[in-house]
Chains A and B, each alone.
Chain A
Amino acid sequence: MTGHGGVVAAATGAEALSTELPVGRSTGWWGMVMFVATEATLFACLLGSYFYLRFQYGPQWPPNGIGDPELLKPLVMTAVLLPSSLPVVWAEHGIRQGQRWRLRCGLAATMVLGATFLALQATEYAEKLKHFTMTTDVYGSLFYLITGFHGLHVLVGLTMIGWLLATSLRGGSFGAHRHERVRNAAIYWHFVDLVWIAILFTIYLSPRL
């Protein structure tokens, strides 16, 4: 129990040990990491399927005159989503020091960025849907499944963040020694963020290679 010996010494009985002291990795951390591992595998299968179908299809890709995807908007979306991890990190560091205001502000900033991302994605869909839909051909199916599935993850992540924000408004939900849930949600959010890079590469950049 190095590093926290003082805390334990201050406690009198076994009971006191049951607080959420940050010793080792918590079960929640492991649980979230495992969950993210299985989700990451899912995305790997999804992107693997994309490349499989693409290379089985033949030289012309995207097919049927759909044309290479525009790059500008996805790059803007990347610019919005990627930095959204920073306020989370900042918030998490804040709450570790008991600074609830940092938690709340950081989470709010992330929510804004994440929501902007989704809004941009909605406008992109609105454009694309005029050209092709999920039922046009296999490219359309892949495009909407992959981006839609990621969008769904962003939405889930935003729900988590929003939930954290809501709970953090109650005093005592989180504190210097009670921030496990913040960390777990943060792991998920970083994951959603990173997956986007893989998607950016697969969907938007790879057809141009």
Chain B
Amino acid sequence: MSTTTTPSPGASREDLARLAEHWGERPSLRAWFATVDHKRIGRRYLVTAGFFFVLAGLNALVMRTQLARPEAGVVSPQEYNQLFSMHGIAMIFLFATPMLFGFGNFLVPLMIGSRDMAFPRLNAFGYWVFLFAGLFMWASLPFGAAPNNGWFAYVPLSGEQNNPGLHMDVYALGLLFLGISTTAAAINFIVTALKLRAPGMSLNRVPLFVWAIVATAFMVIFALPALNLDNAMLFLDRRFGTHFFDPAAGGNVLLWQHLFWIFGHPDVYIIVMPALGIVSAVLPAFTRRGVVGYPLIVLSIVAIAIISFGVWVHHMFATGLPQLSYSFFSAASTVITIPSGLQIFAWLATMLLGRLVIRVPLLFVIGFVVTFVLGGFTGVMFALTAFDQQVTDSYFVVAHFHYVLIGGAVFPMLAGIYYWLPKITGRMYHERLGRWAFWLVFAGMHVTFFPMHLYGLFGMPRRVYTYRSEPGWAGWNLVSTVGSYLLAVGLLLVLVGVVHAVRRGRPAPADPWDGDSLEWSTASPPEPHNFPVLPRVHSLHPMWDERTAESVGPGATSDRILSEGRHTLFTSELDAHPERAVQMPEPTLKPLVLAAALLLFFTSMLFAWYPVAAVAALTVAATIAVWLWPPRPLEQDLKVVP
């Protein structure tokens, strides 16, 4: 790019004005719906997923209230079954994954030094589909038509014969609908990380969080089809009388389980991996050094992503499959703990060598280590088939997955929220309030879920809407319930803290933590174009590195300012050599229209209005055709033809 090198001290005022003009959005209703800015979309993901989290959490509180005493009548069995199903479905599909994708959306372009995602319009589309699919599923709850067969919806109980009504149609269609969003986001992350990294950010300088998101995205690509196929077959069985899961006509009920868990097991790592990425991203700022063993951690991430496709049968240890297959899947499940162990000890070593700066994000990371390790241990126990057969489908399993989900995913998310709140909102949070929240959440979590190990071992099965007093589970259940209220109060304080920060928090400087990754070089909150000058990256910790800093100051070159249009830079996949500047798309309403057409399609499928569905499908096709219609050729395109 030597031809365009004209050294200047950072971006000039005219450059900034031009950038603001090309990237800025004048506030208007239309702009609100048409935005393709990854930061606004990321924020929306976070808020929407947070909203679904509160709903699902409130479900859990009702469930816990019902379970506080034996034979309680707070809700009917039908209601309880919908509550726990929606709780699980929403927590997994509508909260955990989208929340982390929200972090990814906001952070990945900032961390890799780009001005947006690779496909900004696809990104907007993904958000709208997520929102609509979430509302589609939640809307069924007030009508008593919500999914009622747990988050893994085993056949034949989810079949038409055993479960008439819309419940499981909502499940199958809702998840198919949502799958579009997840797949789109995954493809977008991969391509963004491959092509949009700042010059110089070769693979060994990619932040761990980005590695984690990309590995997650690959897992989505290869895992989600199994779930989609499963749900398509379920829907066909229910609606159109096919027999995939009908043993009377040659079908097989275990096929559902295999396909579900071929997706489902990778899915739990899809949830935890970006969260572990957050841990790796937060630690350097609060230990004042880089995470120990970068290559080991990258290796662990890749190893987990691969091995996780070979363990699914450990969710089917009681179905009576051949022992040989059990011993194989048991071995694989045991092995998969090793990359997790590596990461845990890498973080411990980081803390042991660095200097701890005890602030709320670090507290949540420490809470994460304590909780996740305990949850991981019970996971290892399940990996041994003989033990799993005893505790599977009991509250011991419920304890395991809340330890890993809350300890492994929610705690890092909370750490991330406190850590990046200044970047996202431009405001600092209230430290004292944050500490109260931490201690309440931490204590509440353990008081709620630790006893579940006990009453699981004492014989209490999961998914029971009530229990009798004779088996003696009542006392421990009451403890759990009390704990869940405590947890709710803690989370309420988190919410209060966020609102407080947004309303009257101290304005945040660009880099309040003296952090190490590129997002801290942008303003808080970042300008629409993110970087006045796209940095040239010289190390794994660009913010702690003089030469990178120089590349956006005195060393800025116009091929990294790119202020002539809505431009960002493509670089090569492996070494991030600059390739060319690209025009990024303008805001548009097409993603919203497309998502709305899909909503119409799935709604009409649900209510069996097939002609409407056909019209909606045509609308989808037409919208895509218009969306992708090639733009008029640019003038200079004609000029450069050799």
Contact = CB atoms under 8 A, between A and B. Distances in A.
- Asked whether the complex places CB atoms of A and B closer than 8 A, the reply is yes
Interface stretch (B152-160, B166-174, B634-642): B634-642
Interface size of A as a range: 35 or more
Interface stretch (A38-46, A120-128, A197-205): A38-46
Contacts of A52: 252, 255, 258
A46 B225 CA distance: 9
B518 to A, nearest CB: 20
A77 B77 CA distance: 54
A52 B221 CA distance: 22
Interface stretch (A67-75, A78-86, A105-113, A172-180): A172-180
A45 B641 contact: no
A20 B630 CA distance: 12
B115 interface: no
Contacts of B562: 14
Interface in B143-195: 183, 186-188, 190-191, 194-195
B222 interface: yes
B255 A141 contact: no
Contacts of A181: 628, 630
Contact of B558 (A14, A30, A138, A139): A14
Given A13-B564, A172-B633, A138 B625 contact: no
A45 to B, nearest CB: 5
Contact of A31 (B119, B225, B251): B119
Interface in A1-57: 1, 6-11, 13-21, 23-27, 30-31, 34-35, 37-39, 41-42, 44-46, 49, 52-53, 56-57
A14 B628 CA distance: 25
A134 interface: yes
Contact of B637 (A20, A34, A53): A20
Interface stretch (B25-33, B412-420, B504-512, B567-575): B567-575
Interface stretch (B233-241, B423-431, B598-606): B233-241
Contact of B251 (A42, A136, A138): A138
A138 B243 contact: yes
Nearest to B254: A56
Nearest to B242: A141
Given A30-B190, A53-B251, A45 B226 contact: yes
A41 B190 CA distance: 17
A176 B633 CA distance: 12
A76 interface: no
A42 B228 contact: yes
Nearest to B579: A23
A17 B240 contact: no
A38 B222 contact: yes
B580 interface: yes
Given A30-B190, A52-B255, A41 B221 contact: yes
B191 A16 contact: no
B567 A14 contact: yes
A26 B583 CA distance: 13
Contact of B630 (A17, A25, A167): A167
B352 interface: no
A159 interface: yes
Contact of B250 (A8, A30, A57, A174): A57
B119 A27 contact: yes
A37 B194 CA distance: 16
Given A141-B244, A159-B621, A27 B191 contact: yes
Contact of B636 (A15, A45, A172, A176): A15
Given A42-B228, A63-B250, A139-B250, A18 B118 contact: no
B262 interface: yes
Given A37-B221, A41-B222, A174 B195 contact: no
Contacts of B183: 35, 38
A177 B244 CA distance: 48
Contacts of B229: 42, 45-46, 49
A141 to B, nearest CB: 4
Contacts of B629: 167
Given A27-B570, A30-B191, A34-B191, 18 more contacts: A6-B642, A13-B4, A14-B558, A15-B564, A17-B559, A17-B580, A19-B634, A24-B573, A26-B570, A31-B118, A34-B221, A39-B225, A56-B252, A56-B254, A134-B236, A138-B242, A138-B250, A178-B633
Interface of A: 1, 6-11, 13-21, 23-27, 30-31, 34-35, 37-39, 41-42, 44-46, 49, 52-53, 56-57, 63, 98, 134-142, 145, 159, 163, 167, 172-178, 181
Interface of B: 1, 3-4, 118-119, 122, 183, 186-188, 190-191, 194-196, 221-222, 224-226, 228-229, 233, 236, 240-244, 246, 249-252, 254-255, 258-259, 262, 558-559, 561-562, 564-565, 567, 570, 572-573, 579-583, 621, 625, 628-630, 632-634, 636-637, 640-642
13 contacts: A1-B1, A18-B582, A30-B194, A38-B187, A38-B225, A41-B226, A42-B225, A42-B229, A49-B244, A49-B255, A141-B243, A145-B236, A145-B242
The 10 A-B pairs with the shortest beta carbon distances in the complex, nearest first, are: A138-B250, A42-B225, A141-B242, A135-B241, A41-B225, A15-B564, A17-B581, A137-B249, A34-B187, A173-B630
